[in-house]
Amino acid sequence: MKQLLLTGASGGMATALRSLITDLAEKVVLSAPEKITDLAAHEESRAADLGDLAAVNRANGMPRFLFASSSHVVGYYKQSETVDASAMPRPDSLYGMTKTFGEALARFYFEKFGQKTAILRIG
């Protein structure tokens, strides 16, 4: 893969992932609300919020991106219930709501532009 966009790049999970994804792409674009300054040679920083991410991705010729979501998207299901990727969102907090919006935005860009997104629900 030539390019990879990592969203939420100033967060804890993305910070941990940065050293693990060096072999996945020739260039990794790090997206966060603020510029990231501790860049490796193959990394580039783009200041963007959630609403800009898919547009930034498309403008840079990247056919897909990785969205770090959260188990908080389905946090109101009972622990005894089995929840898979087809389960309707039931966010348990405002944080879960923002992640639900991010997943919906990714779906919108797939349906409108064919842009692929890998969504990881962490937690």
Nearest to 3, CA basis, from 82, 83, 51, 59: 59
76 assigned to active site: no
CA dist 73 and 75 (Å) reads: 6
Helix (H) or strand (E) holding 122: strand 116-122
- Give catalytic residues, as residue numbers: 95
